[in-house]
Structure 1
């Protein structure tokens, strides 16, 4: 529709859609795999006064019915004009009044409006708009020139959007449809109106069009994506459009459109999205985009460069939402790898079954499990047969260490109290105890394996950034992965790098995230400990975590927390600690010495076993001698103070 007849000072801001520049030609990139579809096009943005899009407002209305040949004469006749105040609403399809009387008794559909102009004839009323319809003219008079222009641009926008909705709802020729989409996008970019719907409305129109059109060629896909790309620079794509983008990423991951058009869109999503739970398709689109990058020749190098671009060149990332959004995408992608496996298992144990299995095992499992690298089956049967005894004795045998721990009645009573608890079972204990989980064989499809490899590698990349590591450790502290992932050797082996980075970090807030988030919930410390489901390095990572976790408690300046941590190790991991100390691990030697120094072990036989273990190595023998020297000096100091306090001749 031609609006060039309006003679106002802002006519240069209103362009004719048919005359706007279309997409230019682009030569195919090297390799010749792309069609003749450009990935960039020149777009003219509006520069000038801005207006808010009107949805409703008060205005004076005058309707003049006349033969169009006598328009000028009638408009200059002042005695024919009668003005009515109305509260008009700019609906999606028509212009309606809150008081449907007089001139506005019937609503005025946008399809009936032939033209919208600013009225500027000689002797014309001030601040008026002219709406031309068959058989007459409607004059709208505003209070000032700003409101008049605001009504003018809002009416034009509503009328054009209505036209595009109607045209694009019945596509016939895709050449015409593509031209209309380009005109629609350019109209939104050059509009002086400011509102969220200015860019969202064209995206929703295109999204609806794509959802109803399933027989599109690849070239048509890319042409539409390039046409709407300017609108996506500052706006999130609607859900249906996200599905269309996901389909394109899956079918043509090597397309230049993915690199040049989707990259700024995904960057904006990661920087500004606040909750993927409210818009899960945005997360799915981001997930498919990263997988498409991984399908390129460089593979993970491209993904690594993308993550680096999100972090920025500085030491600290300026965008606080990037890391949580990336972690959310990684967690969802990793879960999707095991989702098919979970759903395909008809005998998958329910939470109640897991809890019952855990309770039954607790009835025969001692409160102080001593899990070594390889548990003797005879040991388990021995524990079952001795379950009713008053003093339970557990003997863990290996080639080098024999540990015997005797428990008293109070421990057994505490154990029985815990077994009657109906709270949620420990996830790692469920993996170790539940028969259905212990015999689980994880086999993923080749596609799932590639997805898993990609997103675990992203977690590794994230852990390499110093400023992201504390937040990443906090996000992963309550173990967020399904039990099937923790039972998958490939996954836990690859994730070990991330936990190792946490253990090597010098900051206390990172180390504290290796421990459980609360009592009764195992964390990474338990998962990668000897005897745990993920330990495959003879306890090397476990020793590193013990060292840093013990340092955390010491740095916190709390003797109580240090003793509590050592008591937890003595109750749950004494056997692995002794075995590693016997192999010469200095960290474990220090831990055993601290246990003796703090009087953590009350059983004399166990103390003798620890002393024997320390004296079996040079480093252990030296540290134990230093401990004995400190204890001897402390006793001498205490006895000396006592002697002075009772000396009669003292002053």
Structure 2
């Protein structure tokens, strides 16, 4: 049936989803007792169908669970990458398709867990941008930023609601979420290195759209400082202005990182940021 569906020029999206749901049902029924091989065989079958369509919510849940349980599996790269790239290039509404956004998040976190290449996430972002000066896929940037900001917010929402009586379990959980937080921050840092993406990223981050607790996380803020420094080093005044607060009663990135700011830890960096922005004012 799968081979027939792939060879048939079906245009109806609902009809296209039917073979996907049929192929997924056996794995769902055996969710708790299937072997890893059964799951991987199911994933291989399903991903061949995703060449023509997006994953359904049920498929996203199944793939998400695999990414969480087998984050270091090579299947994450070999099988999921084409589907993730397609989502990032063509998705227009992560609010409507929340499970697809969660799938992209789990995929990126799984990439970050790969042993073979510590730069695998950075290389993926670079490939999504492309080798040209301007990324040809306009939706990639906004989708990546949305995935990161949502992921960061969710991490701190979960932290507020999770309580451990065992100190060891608490430490393990904090280390895991710290690693995930750093992963999202590094993606934002990589985005900031592209000239054509930097202005849009700066505009989105101007309001400092992070949970209050994130601003007190040393590793996260260290990476964010590099993002802000890339804004300061840009030649465009439009980018420099995004380092100022949007409203008088709010703090902008200059207030946070420059001389006298709450996270100013290096006078040279603070002076560099201040002097660069003064060129525009």
Partners in 1 of 2:251 and 2:26 — Cα distance?
50
**1:230/1:201 CA distance change after superposition, 3 Å:** same
State the 1:205 CA deviation: 2.9
Partners in 1 of 2:78 and 2:173 — Cα distance?
32
Partners in 2 of 1:485 and 1:257 — Cα distance?
32
Residue 127 of structure 2: aligned partner: 309
State the 1:208 CA deviation: 4.5
Partners in 1 of 2:83 and 2:226 — Cα distance?
31
- Does the Cα contact within 8 Å between 1:291 and 1:454 map onto a contact in 2? yes
Alignment map for 1:213-224 (pairs within 5 Å): 213-214=30-31, 215-224=33-42
Alignment of 1:243 onto 2:56 = no
Residue 21 of structure 2: aligned partner: 204
CA offsets per residue over residues 86-139 of structure 1, 9 Å max, x none?
xxxxxxxxxxxxxxxxxxxxxxxxxxxxxxxxxxxxxxxxxxxxxxxxxxxxxx
Greater Rg by CA: 1
**1:528/1:270 CA distance change after superposition, 3 Å:** same
Residue 480 of structure 1: aligned partner: 209
**1:449/1:232 CA distance change after superposition, 3 Å:** same
Alignment of 1:534 onto 2:263 = yes
Residue 167 of structure 2: aligned partner: none
**1:298/1:473 CA distance change after superposition, 3 Å:** farther
State the 1:344 CA deviation: 4.7
**1:192/1:327 CA distance change after superposition, 3 Å:** closer
Partners in 2 of 1:515 and 1:257 — Cα distance?
44
Alignment of 1:190 onto 2:7 = yes
CA offsets per residue over residues 429-486 of structure 1, 9 Å max, x none?
xxxxxxxxxxxxxx97110121122221111111111111111111111111000011
State the 1:273 CA deviation: 0.9
Alignment map for 1:484-503 (pairs within 5 Å): 484-503=213-232
State the 1:282 CA deviation: 0.9
Alignment map for 1:80-479 (pairs within 5 Å): 184-214=1-31, 215-344=33-162, 445-479=174-208
User: Which of 265, 272, 276 is the equivalent residue of 1:544?
Assistant: 272
RMSD: 2.1
State the 1:497 CA deviation: 0.6
Partners in 1 of 2:141 and 2:185 — Cα distance?
15
State the 1:190 CA deviation: 2.1
Residue 153 of structure 1: aligned partner: none
**1:529/1:342 CA distance change after superposition, 3 Å:** farther
Partners in 2 of 1:325 and 1:219 — Cα distance?
32
- Does the Cα contact within 8 Å between 1:246 and 1:284 map onto a contact in 2? yes
Where 1:467 maps in the other structure, the secondary structure is helix
State the 1:548 CA deviation: 3.0
Between the two structures, name the one with larger relative contact order (CA 8 Å, sep ≥ 6): 2
Partners in 1 of 2:224 and 2:80 — Cα distance?
29
Alignment map for 1:564-643 (pairs within 5 Å): none
Partners in 2 of 1:491 and 1:541 — Cα distance?
17
Partners in 1 of 2:259 and 2:276 — Cα distance?
17
Q: 1 or 2, which has the higher strand percentage?
A: 1
**1:551/1:306 CA distance change after superposition, 3 Å:** same
**1:231/1:477 CA distance change after superposition, 3 Å:** same
CA offsets per residue over residues 281-300 of structure 1, 9 Å max, x none?
11111111112111222343
State the 1:194 CA deviation: 2.2
Residue 169 of structure 2: aligned partner: none
CA offsets per residue over residues 144-186 of structure 1, 9 Å max, x none?
xxxxxxxxxxxxxxxxxxxxxxxxxxxxxxxxxxxxxxxx211
Residue 141 of structure 1: aligned partner: none
Residue 246 of structure 2: aligned partner: 517
Moved over 4 A (4+): none
State the 1:219 CA deviation: 0.7
Partners in 2 of 1:192 and 1:340 — Cα distance?
44
- Does the Cα contact within 8 Å between 1:460 and 1:497 map onto a contact in 2? yes
Q: 1 or 2, which has the higher helix percentage?
A: 2
